[in-house]
Structure 1
Amino acid sequence: MLNKDSLSQLKGLKDQMVAEKEHADATVKGTHSRYGFAVLADGREIFIPPDEMLKAFPDDRVRVCIRPDKGDKLVADIERLIDCPIGVFTGRCVRKGKALFVEPDLPRVSRWLFLPPHARNGVKEGDYVTSAVLRHPIKDGRPQAKVLRVLGASDSPGIENALVEAKYELPREWSSEASAELEQQLAKVKPLEQQRRRDLTDLEFVSIDSARTQDIDDALYAESNSEGWFLYVAIADPGTYIEPGSLLEQEIAARGTSVYFHGDAIAMMPERLSQETCALAEDQLRPALVCKISVTDEGAVGHFEFIEATVRSRAKLSYLQVDRYLSGNYDELMSHATPLEALYQVFRALRSHREARELVMEDRTEYRWYMNEHKKIDHIEQHEKLQSQRLVEECMIAANRSCALFLADNGRDGPFVRHDGFRTDRSQEVKKFVAKFLPDFIAKPLDEVANYRAIMKLLAASPAGLPLRSMVNRLLTRAELSTKPGPHMGMALPCYSNCTSPLRKYADFLAHRQIKQVLHDEAEQLVSQEQLKVLQQRVTRARAASMDAEKWLKCVFMQDKVGADYEATISHLNSNGFTVRLLENGIEGVVDLRNVPEKFSYDRWTASLTSGDRQFQLERPVRVKLTKVDAKTREILFSPLQDEPAPSDT
């Protein structure tokens, strides 16, 4: 038996060990292995052993006890849960023995959650679902989930779009309050009776869009004058029915943009507005915001004005119809020859001017997907951009740049679309790039539109025999919304905005609001930078959702083609490998060179990967074999087949 002194010593040792322990709040950081880390407020990361990691999900906020292990390394034991950020999530039902689980589609969560019988909601193995955590694993490491909604099986038509819609929480339905508010506005507001609206119904506007488009945002008309042309861009005017700050506008703003999937779409505005009351439909009187632009014979955009008007579109024409007419192969549109011929002349002048004095995005081979009755890709065909599409694009750019100048001249807070050119966080690399390939520009300011345009023109000509125009992309910023006017370097314009799609984009809707405030002599500013930041996030989320569904559809299309060979072009390259774009169908996938026997060295200044025997370079052709398709991770993997000889030293 221990005497009193021994017991006292043991108690003292125990008290010392307790005193040495540290208790703290932390965020759980997951890893690809079973262990994790507790990230403390002071930046420390404390190891969480696998058994303890079973008690939490990544990103959980927990209370931990930090103690030394046998090797004096600090470890964290999870004591209690503070907050779990996982709400509703999507996943797939999987089976293990007789038990059903949900495999979450969540970043860094790789464990399955048990589905007790009472929480399955009729789900079957293989079904995709929306779920929620029913029981957190904090007590015993055994989490449970409940099925909220069964979305469908893997072969259900449109399951890719349905799952992505749920995953990104994209709202499709409208609240009853917003719907009631809209009906009240439609009954009360009579825009065609407003005295301030100018009657432009005598102008032969036509809309040119995809054949299936119902939410027609714009219609066009042009006529010649002594100095060139007058171009009229009529734009739908939904703002006349929507009260500023109303519940309806709040729900529209929360969406931020229409989301387009292959075979489906989620509209930003209720169909009562976007497809019925406001769409510039054929032979219907509509309220519109019209931009009237003077275009010179040389294609320069001159004086412009914005007009609140009433218009009537004479026809809903498709891109294909107009393209066939412009090429002389479609006489059925002769009744619309007057506006179409003038629009074609305006387009040619605008395009020629932009190519000569500004910057035009390089044409790239496009691909058209043809969907089957199951809403899966049936086949893909190459598709060159039509002249009619370019015509509409030039007219929209003319209206949008006029919008930016109008807002800037009247001291309005946009929204403007700014593209600042070169990334400031990579200024040293930019300087090295310029010094190496464009030494004449070393001393010139790169944030001036004229210099940026000259640089891009030179790079497109590839003076060094390298794909310089593609190589510089990693050094460029993305376009962003701003309350302050500034250059759009990518177009070589002093400022730019968007106003031609108010039925589909909230930024365009806000631009309309600002324009009409000026027309009505109202001083209130309607846009803030914080508002635009939130809007940018929503638009980015919608774009990510659309791309996610698209990647999944590509995987489904390619999954039975494993082992096939393809001709491709290297579209992106880094130290680990490269991305290829298949010439046959435009689908992209990855070639990972990290696991091949030979070692490749990466050279950023030639955009190449070189081994002793082979070289792969950006924009070069390469022949590849499809090796793996993983619909879960949306990955398409290839391996190179064609030996690319390395450059000779002689």
Structure 2
Amino acid sequence: MPKTRAPKASRFKSAAAKPTQGLPDRETLLKYIREAGETDKAEIAKAFGLKGADRKALREMLKELQEAGDLGRRGRRGLAQAGALPPVGVVDVIEKDNDGDLMVRLTKGDDTALVRLAPGRSDPAGAAPGVGDRLLVRFETLENGETEARLIKKLGASVHKILGVIRKSNREVRVEPVDRKSKESLILTDPKAQELRDGDLVLAQVGTSEERYGPKRGKLLEVVGREDQPRAASLIAIYSHGIPTGFPAAAEAEAEAAQPPTLTGREDLRQVPLVTIDPPDARDHDDAVYAEPDDDAGNKGGWIVWVAIADVAAYVRPGSSLDVTAREKANSVYFPDRVEPMLPERLSAGLCSLREGENRACIAVRMVFDKSGRKKGHRFVRGLMRSAAKLSYEQAQAAVDGEPDDVTGPILAPILEPLWAAYRCMLQGRLARSPLAIESAERRILINPEGEITAITPRAALEAHKLIEEMMVQANVCAAETLEAKKTPLIYRIHDTPSQEKVQSLAEFLATLDIPWNKGEAPRTDRFNKLLAETREGPNADIINEVVLRSQMQAIYSTENIGHFGLNLARYAHFTSPIRRYADLIVHRGLIRALGLGDDGLSDQDISQMKSTAEQITLAERRAMAAERDATDRYVAAFLADRVGATFAGRITGVTRFGLFIRLAETGADGLVPISKLGGEFFIHDDRSHALVGERSGARWPLGMQVEVKLVEATPITGGLLFEMVSEPAPRDPNAARPRIGAIRRAPGSFDAKRKGGPPKGVRKGKRR
């Protein structure tokens, strides 16, 4: 059999006619590279017949396209359209997902996404691939639009890195991965590994192993900490997810050189008693609000609402080191014990934070609402403000509820009561718009100065939260409307309508609860809200809320507007948090440019790379969310580690073929009951009813069922919780078809009594080799 080789760039070239000779324009060049699949500078120059000065110009064009995010590197010299995958390519196995499937990435393509390796395929010449292996695969697009990789051949081990904890014995030094989805451990044979201590957190590179079975060998790269140090959970999350940390010296120097703002080029808003309302432990304050009745005779009962946002654009100029670093980070990442900020502390907690009683640069929007809560108009100003008070949500809410303190007492009548009156007016407009009313239970982890968890409590949902949320939403709408009207490019926050597949899945689940849902009717927020309202007081309220949430698409950043389904808005952009989100900074620059508010607005380079910026900050947001979730899980596991053996009330929040996910009522912690812990019966995963069903008895473990579980294992280093079921399953559904006994459990190749003889169906005879 001939050897299978990784394809070269020339094999991907289109059979199209030879391109027109001479230096191409941007679109022609991108079209050529897109059709070539993968190429390099020399191939491009040859294709267009370029020599001398034209070759130099080509290099500049390619450099600009890479900086704009339109081109991606493929090795040292190769180029391809950013994110593009070839028909055949070499990949590294990066990780396993929640279902145990392997995820791969193109070896020469850091800009490409993770792709699922088609299950059930192994190299005929060896064992099945695992994390750390390098493979030759064929990329195929499925009917649903997703891409999967199909194995052609294993090529050896990759240079994949893992974060793990050292486990020493008399004979070996082993690295156990901190990722609970990973089953790959490494053996360190480097002499320096003997100096490591049990419990050290290390970064190691996956090597090769001469042994076919057993752990792979690895190389020690870095010692990053200790598993028993108080803040290990967030440290692990930062390293595991590649969260950028710290700032280059140039960025720090730019931040230190920043000066307090003056009135030059600004409107004086210091007499407007704006206040900040944030969590009690907030270190940065990037928004302030104020409201007053509209004295316009033509708008009786109407309100004027001011939202002022920190003017980060005044300090983070396009192309500066601060700007480059902020774009790379894309957002601040918040852990229970620390923050990894997008901007240096000098700005994030200093000059850009709207501190009480200090002059601060801001971009503010003055919005006018009628008595029905409909926005009549707005205008943006670049101003100088001074916060009249720094309040927490709880503090402001208590004051309005009749329990003011020394801070809120003097400002209750002139500031807080008008704010609440304006919000209740705006609430009429919100209710008429009917955005999604999904409720999400958030956990608050309380940590003492020593880094120990003192409590895990549900985060209260106050009217003060909703007030700030609605005022921020309206300010964001104003930003999008203004930039659209001025025809200025912007990054939208978009949220697509639920897919037909998700709606179908929701309808099938609701049918198991005898709740009708017309699958043919287009999804609308008011339909979802009606469902949530009708079931809110019933026994299935929590799980219906959960399933409706899962039926929604994920919001992303994009230069193309499709509206925001969840908020039921035609146009929406993030404007209100530029200290912690790069998207908001781009919108601020757009407003400065569109409204002629200064010379530090949106640059031509910002515009040229806006599409790639939107994609990058979307990925960074997902990365931050995953890191924050993982750190929280590890802290919760540490909190529960000394309660192993205790029983807890919970609810089934996930049903998979390998077990049940349980959410504890007390802490909101999530853990797994493996299918092996459900008793001796074999359970089948019914994905339509979201239940595990007993093969013989028909007993069911459905999604949403309230159960009691015993904690059998809590692993802080991975954040994993394992439970054992204490409750009994629900009885058989009399309307469900009884599964065939043994249909799932029968081993491959086992004898079928209904067949007269010969090999099992679908297996052909062949000569023994």
Distance 1:504 1:574 in 2: 36
- Quick one: distance in 1 between partners of 2:154 and 2:243? 38
Secondary structure of 1:291's aligned partner: strand
1:239 positional shift: 0.7
Displacement of 1:158 = 0.6
Give 1:398 deviation, angstroms.
Answer: 1.8
Q: Secondary structure at the match of 2:461?
A: coil
1:68 corresponds in structure 2 to none
Q: Which residue of 2 aligns with 1:297?
A: 371
User: How far apart are the structure 2 equivalents of 1:219 and 1:575?
Assistant: 49
| Cα pair 2:322 2:343 within 8 Å, conserved | no
Pairwise CA distance, 1:353: 3.2
Equivalent in the alignment of 2:429 = 353
Please give the residue correspondences for 1:491-570 in structure 2 after superposition, counting only pairs within 5 Å.
Answer: 491-520=567-596, 524=604, 526=607, 528-570=610-652
The residue aligned with 2:530 is 457
Deviations 1:474-513 (A, max 9, x none): 4331111111222211122222221111001111111111
Q: Report the equivalent of 2:728.
A: 643
Cα-to-partner distance string for 1:214-245 (whole Å, 9 max, x where unaligned): 21111111111134211101100111112212
Give the superposition deviation at 1:460: 4.2
1:297 counterpart letter in structure 2: K
Quick check: 1:24 aligned with 2:93? no
Contact map agreement 2:393 2:465 (CA 8 A) in 1? yes
1:574 shift after superposition: 4.2
- Structure 1 residues 601-612: aligned runs within 5 Å: 603=686, 606-611=689-694, 612=697
Of residues 387, 403, 409, the one that matches 1:334 is 409
2:444 counterpart residue number: 368
Cα distance, 1:201 vs structure 2: 0.8
What SS does the aligned partner of 1:160 have?
Answer: helix
Structure 2: how far apart are the matches of 1:385 and 1:77?
Answer: 52
Which residue pairs with 1:398 in the alignment? 474
- The answer to whether the 8 Å contact 1:579/1:591 transfers is yes
For 2:285 and 2:701, the matched residues in 1 are separated by 45
- Alignment CA distance shift 1:372-1:442 (3 Å): closer
Instruction: Normalising by structure 2, report the TM-score.
Output: 0.70
Percent identity between matched residues is: 26
Per-residue CA deviation, residues 227-270 of structure 1 (Å, 9 max, x unaligned), is 42111011001111122122220111111111111111111101
- Tell me, yes or no, if the aligned pair for 2:175 and 2:185 is still in contact at 8 Å: no
Aligned counterparts of 2:714 and 2:256: Cα–Cα separation in 1: 49
The correspondence for 1:46, drawn from 119, 123, 133, is 123
Q: How has the CA–CA distance of structure 1 residues 585 and 439 changed in structure 2, closer, same or farther, with 3 Å as cutoff?
A: closer
Q: 1:271 aligns with which of 345, 349, 354?
A: 345
Number of residue pairs matched? 600
Aligned residue in 2 for 1:312: 386
- Structure 1 residue 550: Cα displacement: 1.2
The amino acid that maps onto 1:24 is R
- State the Cα RMSD in Å: 3.8
AA at the equivalent of 1:379: A
Q: CA deviation at 1:311?
A: 0.6
529 and 427 in structure 1: CA distance in 2 versus 1, 3 angstrom threshold:
farther
**Contact 2:509 / 2:689 at 8 angstroms: preserved in 1?**
no
| Structure 2 unmatched runs, 5+ | 7-89, 97-101, 108-116, 138-150, 295-299, 736-769
**Structure 1 unaligned residues grouped into runs of 5+:** 1-19, 64-73
Report Cα offsets for 1:291-328 as digits up to 9, x if no partner: 11112222223311111111110111122211210111
Match of 1:487 among 563, 576, 581: 563
Equivalences for 1:110-125 in 2 at 5 Å?
Answer: 110-118=184-192, 123-125=196-198
Instruction: State the Cα distance separating 1:456 from its structure 2 match.
Output: 3.9
SS of 2:262's partner is helix
Specify the alignment match of 2:701 in structure 1: 616
> What's 1:598 paired with?
681
Task: Using the TM superposition, name which of 346-355 and 232-241 deviates more.
Answer: 346-355
Q: Aligned with 1:378: secondary structure?
A: strand
Aligned residue number for residue 281 of structure 1: 355
Cα offset, 1:618, TM superposition:
3.1
CA 1:360–1:38 in 2, change beyond 3 Å: closer, same or farther?
closer
> How many angstroms apart in 1 are the aligned matches of 2:690 and 2:506?
15
Amino acid at match of 1:334: G
Relative to structure 1, the CA distance from residue 433 to residue 421 in structure 2 (aligned partners, 3 Å threshold; closer, same or farther) is farther
Q: CA deviation at 1:649?
A: 4.1
Q: Distance in 1 between the 2:218 and 2:667 partners?
A: 43
- Equivalent runs, 1:237-276 vs 2, <5 Å: 237-276=311-350
Q: Distance in 2 between matches of 1:349 and 1:325?
A: 20
Query: How far did residue 103 of structure 1 move?
Result: 3.5
Measure, in 1, the Cα distance between the counterparts of 2:471 and 2:458: 25
Q: TM-score, normalised by structure 1?
A: 0.82
Q: 1:147 to 1:559 in 2, by over 3 A?
A: same
Q: Where do 1:626-637 residues align within 5 Å?
A: 626-637=711-722
Quick one: distance in 2 between partners of 1:30 and 1:287?
45
Q: 2 CA distance for matches of 1:281 and 1:62?
A: 56
> Which residue of structure 2 aligns with residue 219 of structure 1?
288
Stretch of structure 1 that moved more, 409-418 or 609-618: 609-618
SS in 2 for 1:490: coil
**How far does residue 626 in structure 1 lie from its aligned partner after superposition?**
1.8
1:192 aligns with 2:262: yes
